[in-house]
Amino acid sequence: MNRLLAYLEEAVASLWRNRVRSILTMLGMIIGSASIIAVFGISRAATSGINSTFASFGQSPVIIYVDNSQNYPQQAQIHYRDLAPVKAALGGSAASVMPIWQKTFAVSFGSTRDYVPVNPDSAYHSDGLKMAEGRRIDAQDVNSAARVCDITQDLATKFFGNRPAVGNFLRVNGGQYRVVGVFADIKGSFLNSIGGTSNLLVPYTTYHSDLTDAPMDFLAIYPTDPLRADAVGKVAIAALQHVHGRRAKYTMQNTADQLKIFTNVLSIVGLGLSVIGGVALVVAGIGIMNIMLVSVTERTREIGIRKAIGANRNDIALQFLMEAVLLSICGGGIGMALGLLTTIGAASLLSKQLGTLLIPYLLIVSIALIFSLLVGTVFGTYPALRAAAMDPIEALRS
């Protein structure tokens, strides 16, 4: 250990004697490490935020909708009456089967009026959404087709200002609906910036009886076993074809699979960018090798003297290898610090759209140290071996 510490002290002294050259050599490692850490850290943090956002919306359903590429898609349209045979066919394999219409209706309270997306809701809630006021729509509301609604926080502010919303009545498409709950603000979700935050939910039975009798846009099926989602979707399609005929064509979309594909694409993009950043590390390693070869040439006489007084090949190789590793680790450490600062800054900005982000600090530090050590070892080995292979007599003559 004392021997290694002595070599380390000599390496530090040697690098400090040529500190300007050493700093310029480390710049490649600093830039390469910082770019890899920043890209990797930001991509992992963004992926964690997107996953947590989707997780807050609960179990992903299987979506069944009409295949519009068929000759007569209107004959395959899904009607409210189709809900009963689909539920009967699925039995206990589906926790919930819900009709979905995507429509906008006029909503007003007093003199305040606006067009708002109105969505159906059921008593099945697998999400983690919290309520700022009141409660969620329950089974009794659905069974009785009650004229009640849940609204998002921005609608509560728009129609009722700072007053409590629960207990008040909104006029939806001409009918009176009592507000029973207000969702807590979820504006940290990036989905809000895509689809907007305004939503009003009513029991799906009420939606059909009071707001529309048009064919539904699609069926949302929540399997009791998420691993059997595709099988459940096929059973639902078979039930619809039994009602509408075998020529009726439907498309199934497993939204859980879509989420996996989306997050996988993000991971691949992040990995690809990290690999591109790794090219800078290779360039930095070549720079370290180059400067160490120059150092070997400059210190030829020193190498000869060391060998003449008893230093063996391993001592010489270790001395120069330690200098290369020290250059690499110092540059990688500074680059890691800059990369972490960039990641933290970017995460604070992205959190406004994606919610809470998780930065894998331990993984980032581990990757930075491992890559720095590898670059110094790999690119410092050849100059070290070249120095160790020198003939002491020839070295002294030079």
- 113-119-125 Cα angle (round to 5): 130
Instruction: Determine the Cα–Cα distance for residues 209 and 202; give it in Å rounded to an integer.
Output: 11
Instruction: Determine the Cα–Cα distance for residues 292 and 286; give it in Å rounded to an integer.
Output: 10
Instruction: Determine the Cα–Cα distance for residues 276 and 190; give it in Å rounded to an integer.
Output: 27
Domain boundaries, the chain: 2-55+260-397, 68-253
Task: Tell me whether residue 170 is exposed, middle or buried, using C-beta atoms within 10 angstroms of its C-beta: 0 to 12, 13 to 18, 19 or more.
Answer: buried
Point out the residues of the chain with pLDDT beneath 50: 187, 189-196
Q: Report pLDDT for 2.
A: 67
**130 to 57, 127, 150, 181: CA distances (angstroms):** 11, 9, 12, 10
For tokens 């295949």, what's the residue?
Answer: 67
Q: Report pLDDT for 193.
A: 41
Q: Report pLDDT for 83.
A: 92
Instruction: Determine the Cα–Cα distance for residues 181 and 106; give it in Å rounded to an integer.
Output: 19
Instruction: Determine the Cα–Cα distance for residues 141 and 121; give it in Å rounded to an integer.
Output: 10
Dihedral sign, CA of 256, 258, 259, 265?
A: positive
Q: Report pLDDT for 353.
A: 67
**For 12-32, how does the pLDDT look when each residue is reduced to its tens digit (9 = 90+)?**
777 787 778 888 888 888 888
Q: Which helix (H) or strand (E) holds 287?
A: helix 255-298
Q: Is the pTM of this model over 0.85?
A: no
Q: Report pLDDT for 186.
A: 62
Instruction: Determine the Cα–Cα distance for residues 335 and 195; give it in Å rounded to an integer.
Output: 38
